[in-house]
């Protein structure tokens, strides 16, 4: 089974090889076409020059010896064999050409006819038996005064052209091999750089799935791979936090359940065994009922949170007076406020109506206010204010309690998150109240903000949109 690195390496090398092969073929075809075109142009130029010599010979400017010598010199320079045919008897001339170069009869006849019609004929590759070689040639009419008086045939063996092409092929092969070697080195390092972080993410994910702790992966780029590594590190941190909170929840719930269960069992067992006097049974039964209520409250909070996070909650909205709602919650918790001798400041003198789920928002206000009471020392201050803004109505609950560390403020609304576990255990609660409140406010398309400094109190702001 090939890993990612091998797959990338092989894929890139195949692409590189294909590109080099295609480019090599294109370069070869270009050189071949250029070479044959130059050879053709050279033969055409030589043919035009010979036609000029024929005109000069016809006018008597040069003699026959000068004509033959010039034609031979031109053939040597052009590396071509030159045949000059007088007259337009193409049948006789065809036989003559066939004896000279043994070209294909049908094609020769057709070419001669074209030449006598005044056209130039180019043959890129024909086999000549007399030369035992393939030749490339040019045939053009010999004209004097615009009249065709014969034909000029120039042809050269392609052997030398092929030799040149072989040298070109050797150069292309060497260049392609060098390019492939350089490309291989580049592909090797590029594949390594791409696959290394992905393989690291894969290995870390497997370790994480196996329950092992893993170090954060190093980010070496700002591209999509770097974003992947950052996302994995963030996901790993979230999973670790979730696992940590899960364990803390189990420990907290176990602790919260164990204490009341132990008290209930002890009191009931004492009554059944007759250890507790009849006159004291009412007191201990009252304590037992309180512990049962506590168990019920914990269970209800867990069920409520599960419903909210599953999205199976439907809001029962109706027009509610926010002033009356907050006053009712304060009245409900007044005994706890008096018990801790807390100073209460209320600022909600004006009626404010809005459409909300009455029971759910009461739960939000109660959870936040209970936290304020729980974490504010005796003799401290608590304020409850209702403020209307342009697009929202804000319920503000502030206290002079112990505050929340700045580093933990972003997580206080997370499910199962508890600020300083020992603090929660000493003050009661298992850290579900704010998570429930946050989910309820989100269902109303609102938001909860927190402002707090350690040892300087906390302010919670519930913003509920008007529409």
CATH number of 224-308: 1.10.287.130
Q: Rounded mean pLDDT of 28-42? A: 84
pLDDT value, residue 283: 85
CA dist 313 and 182 (Å) reads: 63
Whether the pLDDT of residue 273 is over 50: the answer is: yes
Question: Do the Cβ atoms of 120 and 140 come closer than 8 Å?
Answer: yes
CA atoms within 13 A on the CB side of 319: 3
pLDDT value, residue 382: 95
Q: Dmax over Cα atoms in the chain, in whole Å?
A: 158
Question: Do the Cβ atoms of 151 and 141 come closer than 8 Å?
Answer: yes
Q: In DSSP terms, which residues pair with 140 in a beta bridge? A: 152
pLDDT value, residue 88: 59
pLDDT value, residue 107: 55
Averaged pLDDT score across all residues of the chain: 80
Q: Rounded mean pLDDT of 27-31? A: 86
Lowest mean pLDDT among 89-93, 128-132, 401-405: 89-93
Question: Do the Cβ atoms of 12 and 191 come closer than 8 Å?
Answer: yes
- Residues 179-238: tens digit of each pLDDT: 888 888 888 887 777 777 777 777 777 777 777 777 777 766 677 777 777 787 888 777
Place of tokens 């052009």: 78
Domain-wise residue ranges, the chain: 4-164, 224-308, 314-465
Q: Rounded mean pLDDT of 70-86? A: 82
Whether the pLDDT of residue 90 is over 80: the answer is: no
C-alpha distances in angstroms, 429 versus 253, 393, 438? 9, 29, 17
- Return the structure tokens found at 138: 């040019």
pLDDT value, residue 422: 42
**CB environment 119-139: b (16+ within 10 A), e (fewer):** eebebeebebeebeeebbbbb
- The domain 314-465 having CATH identifier 3.30.565.10: the answer here is yes
Query: Higher confidence at residue 83 or residue 389?
Result: 389
CATH of 4-164, picked from 3.30.1490.390, 3.30.1520.10, 3.30.70.360, 3.30.450.20, is 3.30.450.20
pLDDT value, residue 417: 65
CA dist 211 and 108 (Å) reads: 86
Q: Rounded mean pLDDT of 73-102? A: 66
> What is the band of 89 on the pLDDT scale with cuts at 50, 70, 90?
low
């Amino acid at each position: 089974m090939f890993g990612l690195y091998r797959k990338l390496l092989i894929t890139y090398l195949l692409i590189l090889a294909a590109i080099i092969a295609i480019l090599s073929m294109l370069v070869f075809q270009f050189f071949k076409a250029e070479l044959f075109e130059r050879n053709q142009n050279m033969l055409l130029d030589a043919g035009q020059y010979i036609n000029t010599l024929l005109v000069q010979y016809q006018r008597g400017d040069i003699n026959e010896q000068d004509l033959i010598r010039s034609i031979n010199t031109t053939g040597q320079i052009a590396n071509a064999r030159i045949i000059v045919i007088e007259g337009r008897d193409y049948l006789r001339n065809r036989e003559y050409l066939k004896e000279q170069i043994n070209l294909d009869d049908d094609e020769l006849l057709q070419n001669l006819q074209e030449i006598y019609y005044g056209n130039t004929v180019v043959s890129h590759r024909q086999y000549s038996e007399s030369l035992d070689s393939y030749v490339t040639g040019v045939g053009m009419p010999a004209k004097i005064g615009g009249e065709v008086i014969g034909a000029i045939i120039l042809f050269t063996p392609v052997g030398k052209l092929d030799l040149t092409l072989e040298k070109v092929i050797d150069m292309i092969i060497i260049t392609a091999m060098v390019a492939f070697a350089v490309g291989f080195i580049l592909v090797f390092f590029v594949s390594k750089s791409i696959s290394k972080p992905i393989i690291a993410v894969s290995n870390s994910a497997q370790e994480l799935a196996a329950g092992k702790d893993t170090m954060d992966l190093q980010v070496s780029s700002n591209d999509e791979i770097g974003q992947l590594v950052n996302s994995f590190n963030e996901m790993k941190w979230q999973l670790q936090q979730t696992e940590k909170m899960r364990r803390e929840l189990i420990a907290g719930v176990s602790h919260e359940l164990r204490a009341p269960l132990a008290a209930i069992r002890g009191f009931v067992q004492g009554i059944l065994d007759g250890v507790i006097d009849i006159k004291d049974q009412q007191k201990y039964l009252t304590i037992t009922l309180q512990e049962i209520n506590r168990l019920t409250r914990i269970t209800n909070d867990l069920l409520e949170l599960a419903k909210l996070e599953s999205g199976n909650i439907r809001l029962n909205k109706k027009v509610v007076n926010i002033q009356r709602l907050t006053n009712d919650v304060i009245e409900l918790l007044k005994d706890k406020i008096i018990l801790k001798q807390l100073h209460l400041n209320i600022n909600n003198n004006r009626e404010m109506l809005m459409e909300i789920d009455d029971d759910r928002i009461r739960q939000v206000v109660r959870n936040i206010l209970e936290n304020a009471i729980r974490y504010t020392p005796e003799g401290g201050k608590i304020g409850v204010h209702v403020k209307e803004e342009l697009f929202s109505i804000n319920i503000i609950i502030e206290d002079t309690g112990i505050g929340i560390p700045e580093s933990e403020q972003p997580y206080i609304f997370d499910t199962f998150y508890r600020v300083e576990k020992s603090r929660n255990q000493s003050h009661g609660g298992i850290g579900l109240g704010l998570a429930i409140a946050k989910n309820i406010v989100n269902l109303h398309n609102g938001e909860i903000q927190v402002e707090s400094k350690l040892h300087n109190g906390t302010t919670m702001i519930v913003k509920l949109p008007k529409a």
